[in-house]
Every structure is written in structure tokens, then in C-alpha cells.
Structure 1
């Protein structure tokens, strides 16, 4: 699907998104628990935005093309260069926009961004086994299940088991013309 065929666009999360973002987090509490927790108050939101200003993290909003409204969020976390050229994804849909395919389209755009612009080789997603909607999302995008990690991440007050899902640029058919300059020749 070409970028212009999508009903969504991506844009970086900024401090100016505070009001809309916090309202969406409040409206989505039942949807997100126990899968994840997002900042729910201004100080936590500002710390969250600051975290994603560095070179090894990106927070991208999935916004409806027609209205500009935020439908979801996809973070590219822990970008590691050199021989690895990999990152981990975290994402959340917001309750007012669920079930419409916006996150699938957003994930496609994030994969294009990560593989073609950032020139990463691999993306990973760690998903709690009971989070069936999240597993369906990555499965539709072509990710493969690579295993199971007990007590992998601390979420909602407990260490949670996760399935590990991943996709490479070759699997997605998005291999960049030139590798990232930090990748060794051999």
C-alpha cells in the first residue's frame, strides 16, 4: 500500500499534544490495562516527550488523515546500530478509534519509516500472550513468533510474560538501497 493510500499519517509526539493525548489515555484506561501504561498526568507526559527526543528512540502518533485526530501511538524504542541495526516497538490504539484498521495502516507506515528511512534491519515486539488484538496486529503485518520470555517486562505492577515477535526488512520487502553507515562491511 502506498503512503498516500493510507487513511492515516505519522507525526512525532510533541509537547503540544498534551491535552489530546492525556484525554485519550484517560478514555482508554480499560483498553490498555494490563497491557501497558501511558503517562496520565502532565509531569509524566512531559517526561515521556523528553525521552523520545534522543537519537535512539522515536514516538510517532498515528493520526487520521481526514481530521488530524490521534488514533494511536507507535514507539520505536532502543534503536541499536552497528551489527544489530534493530529496534523494539511499543504501541497503543486509543479507544475512540479502535477496530477501524488505523493501527494496521500506522504499523505499515512505521515499518516503512524504520526500514527505508532509518535503515534498520529488524523490528521486534514483545506482547503479553493474552493480548490477542496486539498479536493479530503484528501477525497481519508479517511478524513471526520467535519465542516466549517469562517475566520479561514490568507492567501494571508485575513482571509479565511475553511472546517475542519480529520482522526483518527482507521479510517486509523493504530493504534499503544502502545500509546504515554504522553497519560494518563484514
Structure 2
């Protein structure tokens, strides 16, 4: 596998923008992770058309899409999006991410999201990232805690998942907060 186009890298992982050629690998990872992710993300179409629609979002200035790859092989271990980017006085966006079952529990998402956060603040010039997480999604809550996000509150009925409006906890991180977070400091460029 040719490894090209990394935006940033850490010791074990790197990030790059998601691209059309990722469809097959991401589809296989999504199938392998369906049981793990269904509760948090709901059922998703895995067609070429759905993937094309997903990619079209990232052609707009309000969305950025990334994959987290093993640095040495280029294999995808996770994905991240920065959605709903607002400029002007806010300079913020919403962080979404997905781990995949074959590689969970190894710290790849901590490293990879640390890089995405660095990219958001340094390259995109954002000031704030928000993550919305279901209250019983303990692995995701632990991940944002490790990355220095602080809990700001609860959003009842925040998102429709599997036909049910689910409550989410709202967590946020600002550029000022990143200097105190070890996983983010160690990958600062």
C-alpha cells in the first residue's frame, strides 16, 4: 500500500483526508464493527452512492473528513469529521469520530484524534471543538476526557438514532485548554 498524503503524524498513526479509494476498506471495517457501533451510530447504508454523498459534504467549507491510519502501513483504524464549522466570532466545529472493532483498545484513537484536534486548531484556525456523546457510551466519554475536553452539560433528545431521539452529553475543548493536555502537547508541531 502506498502511503501518501498524511497531514500530520504521531508515533503510531497519521491522519489524512478521506478519499474515494477508501470506500472498500471503510465498508469492510464498518461491517466488522456493525455490532459495536450500531448502538451509538445506528444503521448506515454501505453503498457506493451513500459514500459519494458522504464525500460531497467535505467539498463544502463547513465540513472536514479524515481517516486515522497506521503510520507504517496506511491501514485505516478510525475516522473523524469536523462538522458544522462556523467562522466569524465563533470559529468552532463539531467533532465526530468512529473507532473500528478490529483495532479498538490500543490507543490509536487517542493519538489520531489528538492529531485531528491539532489540525483543527492550527491549520483550520478553529478556537473550539464540541463533541456530543450518549451518556452510556463509556469508551467515547473516556476518550474525550483523555484529550482534555470538559463536560458542559446535557442535550436532551439531541440526535435521532435507530428511531429514538437520544440524549447526549456536550463536551468541548478550546485552544487555550490544549496546552495542559499531555496527549495533545506531545504531538504539537
TM-score, normalised relative to structure 1: 0.89
Residue 124 of structure 1 and its aligned partner are, at CA, apart by 0.3
Paired positions, count: 172
Residue 155 (structure 1) shift:
1.6
Q: Deviations over 1:96-119 (max 9, x none)?
A: 111110000011101100111111
Cα distance, 1:42 vs structure 2: 1.6
Is 1:53 matched with 2:56? no
Provide structure 1 residue ranges, at least 5 long, that are not aligned to the other structure: 175-186
Q: 2:21 aligns with which of 16, 24, 32?
A: 16
Q: Which runs of 4+ in 1 moved over 3 A?
A: none
Provide the secondary structure at the position in 1 that maps to 2:88: coil
Q: Secondary structure at the match of 1:33?
A: helix
Distance 1:77 1:91 in 2: 11
User: What is the RMSD computed on CA atoms of the aligned residues?
Assistant: 1.3
Partner of 1:34, secondary structure, is helix
Cα deviation code 1:121-178 (max 9, x no counterpart): 100000000100000000000000000011001122211100000000000129xxxx
Alignment of 1:120-135 (within 5 A): 120-135=126-141
Structure 2 portions without partners, runs of 5+ = 1-7, 181-189
CA distance in 1 between counterparts of 2:175 and 2:11 reads 20
